[in-house]
A and B are shown apart, each in its own frame.
Chain A
Amino acid sequence: MLEFLQICIGGLVVGAIYAAIALGFSLVFRVTGAINLSQGGFAIIAAMIGYTLGVSFGWPLWVAIPAAVAATVAIGTMIGAFTFVPALGRLSNANVLMLTAGLLTAIEGAALIVWGSQPYAMPPFSGEEPLVFGAVRVPTQAFWVFGATALCIAALWFLIARTKLGKGLRACAENPTAAGLMGIDVAQMTLLSFALATLIAAIAGVIVAPTTSLQFDTGRLFTISGFVAAAIGGIASFPGAIIGGIFLGLATQLATAYISSLFSTAIALLILLAVLIWRPSGLVGGGAGKRQDTRDEVKAVGHAARLPPNLAWLFAAIALAAAALVPLVVTDNGILSGLVIALILFMTLMGLDVLMGYAGQVSLGQAGFMAIGGYTSGYLSTNYELSAVLSILAGIGVSLLCALVLSVVTLRLRGLYLALATLAFGLLVDSCAVGFLDITGGPSGLVGIPSFAVAGFEFATPRAMYYVVLALDAIIMVGLAGAMRSGFGRALKAIRSDQMAAAALGINTVRYKLAAFMISVTLASIAGSLYAFFFNFLSPEMVGTGRSLELVAMLIVGGESTLVGGLFGALLLTLLPTAFQPLAVYKTFASGALLVASFLYLPQGLYGAFVRMAVWLARQRGKAKKSATKTTARAL
């Protein structure tokens, strides 16, 4: 009983922090309709600045902590003003969510550059000695956590319910267009909500810092837990956020204590998936049904870049020929390995593009299927000496099975709930990869995976593997291009932009979404297997959620719904760190910042820029020819 109480107190402390972050999610969602994933990043930035000021510089905590919070809010507001606010006007809410995922990655990357990857420990505000009630020991920091969370909730409630500013915020939440017509500065309100969420996150970050160890990527944990908490409670409801947070905190702590620490996240995620199935709007949330015969999301879907068919075939032939010659020129094994990785990731990206770019189904858990494919084929070929091809097929089978189960959840969901469900799935795979020690080798990874081999011929060198992956990519590319240029691709694009209108023309939206999903899963699974064969090794973080987010970044940076765009993103984000080793520490930051910048300034990605250039050049040549014939005509 005593132990139970002790665990519950621990759960409440964690839960209070989750509740605070969830409150931030709820606030931004209610005002803007978008999800801001960057909050956890700000929490960790605040904690890190607090550590630097308080411990490294030796400032007294009562100066260091408020200063850290203030600095974080200032940084956050700046970032929000230049990224989040302009993005809201231009991007669909699902893309805003991915933009904030990019912000989170960029913030993590910045933290990595400034503070390195070592963990930090912040001293508790009021000494190490816990307070003792009877036999229950409560660490003093718990009171700080409860107090700060309660204060945040009370202050936020007062602001929203009792002030004019709050009325403005609520008006924006109900109907931004009408609010704008009534003279409310919607952009300002949006920024205000972003700044307030940052403030809450910063407070949560510095307060929780002494109870946990800080690392550059701890922020991701806060973001995910807060997001999950908000979704469990009902993302549009403040009480829901609080209840969801405390529920999640208690559930994970109890699971850690009584079941296994390895599966505590898995249990939280299963709860989330269950909530998404039975009560998609959360335990507390409700909300009126929306009218279905009008379009709810008017923000235009971007126009994808297209090469004219003749140019496309020409460039494809040139690119393939050049790619075939590369290993004859490049002898450096490091760079060649980088190229192999890029090509393997490109395979996943083509599938992700069919799913996200064409069908418009957000996926933040694609690497989860790489993991399932990779671990399945790695395990089978290591322990049962199954041939590479058969084990890849087995991997596909297991992946498709998992995908079918997941699609029970995802097929009903759209936009941010879909993002949430896929993110949860990816995290679930992560924790299984760490937890199933016997199969996956746990955190240290699965070792001794043989190289890829067909009929006794082993592709052990990077060069051999390069040709295998290149050939597979080329075949997949041609096949998918055939489907995407025809009825299949058109049906997906119709579904992406207007499901209801698509259904009214006889397009079976469920079947097509499922097909796109299965294609993406198959390709991710094959890529995961090849990845494992190539490294002779697979560890959870190679195919974890970080990788999923990186894949999204690659796709967006390269150019969505173009199929080939992913290659540009994969090459850029894989080869740059390989080619310039000293810059490797900047990789995380660069992938996040590039994602954000692409969303804002290069909506068609690098491929779009390439297409514009190619078309322009072709036109210049055409003009030159024309003027040449003109002059000859005149001369005659």
Chain B
Amino acid sequence: MVMTEDQVNASAELAAVLSVRHLTKVFGGLKAVNDVSFDAAPNQVTAMIGPNGAGKTTVFNLITNILSKDAGQVRFLGRDLARMPAVKIAGLGLIRTFQSARVFPGMTAIENVMVGGHRLSPRSGASQTLWLRGARHEERRILNRAEEMLELVGLAPFRNTHATELPMGAQKLLEVVRALMAQPKLLCLDEPAAGLNDTETQELANLLRAVRTLGVPVLLVEHNMSLVMNVADSVVVIDSGAIIATGTPTEIQNDSRVIEAYLGREGHAAS
């Protein structure tokens, strides 16, 4: 039996955690994002790469409705995200981080991570006000989990340090585990390696592999090629707002268009 394109799409969507179809955004006369479609599969790290200004972060902001899209559709776990506010999207389990590490100033490292536990803590403010047993237990549980999270990235010794006083790399890791704390059904990371040195990038790669082992799918927008080639299961390459290739890291590395558009340029710059 031959399936129509729609049916193919439908079955792909069922399998995919996130499916993006025909996403388009125009800034003035410039098509910043032009007819972008891709899927993020369960238990996989999907990476989106591309040269500076290719429109990666714009795609990201369109997915999470920080920017409004001009055309296209984003479905997360089968639900259309159109016009859904950020808090609802997060409520569904799509948790994102930001390009510039946005830890909460005025809070310690452990408190920052504990904020991530908010999504899955059903106890009301009223029960906390009355110091009810359930609320206190929940608090303990969140604290323990947050401590495990800090342990995971080696930040446990800094649990009571104010988050903004940590070095940039630590802040970025903190932001990732804060998002993990929310038990995402899809973890979206916006250039997590930007501003990190090689050691810190290595720590990040380890963390991402650990995340995948936990069964959390990841959508990774990244500039750092070695990180992507290291951890990604499938790669989407964007240039000038449009997808030019998709495939496994090995396929991408051997794709002539990618080499021409992206790796070629980078190789040129390196030599």
- Which A residues form the contact surface with B (CB < 8 A)? 292-295, 300-304, 478-480, 482-483, 485-488, 490-491, 493-494, 496-498, 500-509, 515, 561
Contacts and interface: CB of A to CB of B under 8 A. Distances in A.
Interface in B117-143: 117-119, 121, 123, 125, 128-131, 135, 138-139, 142
A516 to B, nearest CB: 10
Given A482-B129, A501-B102, 11 more contacts: A303-B106, A482-B130, A485-B128, A485-B139, A498-B102, A500-B86, A500-B98, A502-B115, A503-B86, A505-B119, A506-B91
Contacts of A487: 114, 117-118, 121, 123, 125, 128, 138-139, 142
A506 B96 CA distance: 10
Given A294-B99, A482-B129, A505 B116 contact: yes
Interface string B170-201: 00000000110010000000100000000000
B119 to A, nearest CB: 4
Contacts, number: 121
A304 B107 CA distance: 9
A62 to B, nearest CB: 54
B222 interface: no
Contact of A482 (B64, B87, B131): B131
Contacts of A295: 100, 102
Contacts of A508: 87
Contacts of B97: 504
Contacts of B99: 293-294
B105 interface: yes
Contact of A494 (B100, B104, B135, B162): B104
Contacts of A302: 106
Nearest to B182: A505
A90 B95 CA distance: 32
Contacts of A509: 87
B37 interface: no
18 contacts: A294-B99, A300-B105, A301-B105, A483-B129, A486-B123, A487-B117, A487-B128, A490-B115, A494-B107, A494-B115, A498-B104, A503-B87, A504-B98, A505-B182, A506-B91, A506-B95, A506-B119, A509-B87
The A contact surface, by secondary structure, is helix
Nearest to A512: B125
Interface in B54-77: 57, 61, 64, 66
B118 A292 contact: no
Contacts of B190: 293
Contact of B96 (A304, A504, A515): A504
Given A480-B129, A482-B130, A490-B114, A504 B107 contact: no
Contacts of A493: 104, 106-107, 111, 115
B164 interface: yes
A478 B104 CA distance: 26
Contacts of A479: 129-130
Given A487-B121, A505-B118, A303 B162 contact: yes
Contacts of A303: 106, 162
Contacts of A504: 64, 86, 90, 95-98
Given A483-B129, A500-B86, A490 B118 contact: yes
Contacts of B57: 293
A479 B130 CA distance: 6
Contact of A505 (B85, B95, B131): B95
B87 A507 contact: yes
B245 to A, nearest CB: 26
Given A496-B106, A505-B116, A488 B61 contact: no
